[in-house]
Structure 1
Amino acid sequence: MVAKLELANVSDAVVLKALSMEAFTPDFEQYGGFPPGVDDIDWHLDQIKTEHYYKIFYNDELAGGILTVPINGVETEIKLFYIAGEFQDKQLGSQTIALIEQCYSATKKWSLVTPYKSYRNHHFYEKQGYLKVGEFQPEPDDVFRLFQYEKQK
């Protein structure tokens, strides 16, 4: 299996939106919503224009996307990371993390958030060297929480 990353372009927005919505459907079913922006084509277009939104390929098939936000020269946030269901359990996630870390080789601190009941995500990120460093409620009146993870290089 060969994973590959390519910067997304404007013509990819529709397919990336569809792939992300498919990948985040379990979150929608569990929490009643998608991650912010995932269901909005304009949001995907805006993220593509940052030139930090990558398409993830599995043996030349488009399998998902990863959006990074460089914070400064040494810190990068993974804002969105998704792989379509048919491509999961193929080591694609691990290879994608390795590839994105190569793209941002000067990064010393990686960060991300993931939902509190996304146990599979917790396990995956911990396997990749991330540590849970906190949690917060985006909406104070809602029980939904996000776990914060970081990885130091």
Structure 2
Amino acid sequence: MPKSRLVLASAEDALQLKNLAVDAFQADFEQYGSFPPHIESTAWHLQSVEAGHYYLIKYGDEVAGGILAVIKNHQEIEIKYFFITPDFQDKRIGSQVVKQLESHYPRVTCWSLVTPFKAFRNHHFYEKLGYVKVGEVQPDINEPFWLFEYQKTI
């Protein structure tokens, strides 16, 4: 079985990351009627790459997805977007990638993220990795959509 690994993304990867993200979040679009913010913008992906903490998820020689870490301070990182395309799901890539990301930032003691309230597989996945649900947010009070906030303290 190929091993997954993180590779720091470069500007040349922005379009590929956008396409992978759109593919990976297609099910969310179908369920909620929209993609996560900025996912469809190549310019946003380029800006995120230039911030320096956006990684390609490689599985063997292929790119399986991406993960964006947002540095909040010296001890806290938010996993802003984490996506694996459908062709690469259910191969234990996600667990390996999260562990690798955490090992890239050994001084970080608090990890946070949000995920849709109906993303039951995500909830199970993050809880299995030690994340705890700490809150709920309704981004638009006129929409019946909620995000669950998760946090992991090391």
The alignment-based identity, stated in percent, is 52
Q: Secondary structure at the match of 1:150?
A: strand
RMSD: 0.6
TM-score by length of 2: 0.98
Q: Does 1:2 align with 2:10?
A: no
Q: In the alignment, what sits opposite 1:99?
A: 100
TM-score by length of 1: 0.98
Rounded to whole Å, the distance in 2 between the matches of 1:141 and 1:14 is 32
Shift of 1:71: 0.7
Q: In the alignment, what sits opposite 2:75?
A: 74
Query: Which string of whole-angstrom CA distances, capped at 9 and with x for unpartnered residues, describes residues 89-145 of structure 1?
Result: 011000000000011111100000000000010010000100000001000111100
Divergent runs of 4+, >4 A: none
Count residues in correspondence.
153
Q: Which runs of 5+ in 1 are unaligned?
A: none
Q: Secondary structure at the match of 1:76?
A: strand
Rounded to whole Å, the distance in 1 between the matches of 2:70 and 2:105 is 11
Letter in 2 for 1:59: G
Q: Secondary structure at the match of 2:70?
A: strand
Rounded to whole Å, the distance in 2 between the matches of 1:104 and 1:76 is 9
Rounded to whole Å, the distance in 2 between the matches of 1:8 and 1:74 is 23
Q: Secondary structure at the match of 1:102?
A: helix
Query: Which string of whole-angstrom CA distances, capped at 9 and with x for unpartnered residues, describes residues 2-47 of structure 1?
Result: 1111111111111110100000000000001111100011110110
Q: In the alignment, what sits opposite 2:51?
A: 50
Rounded to whole Å, the distance in 2 between the matches of 1:81 and 1:108 is 19
Q: Secondary structure at the match of 1:28?
A: helix
Q: Which runs of 5+ in 2 are unaligned?
A: none
Q: In the alignment, what sits opposite 2:36?
A: 35
Letter in 1 for 2:28: D
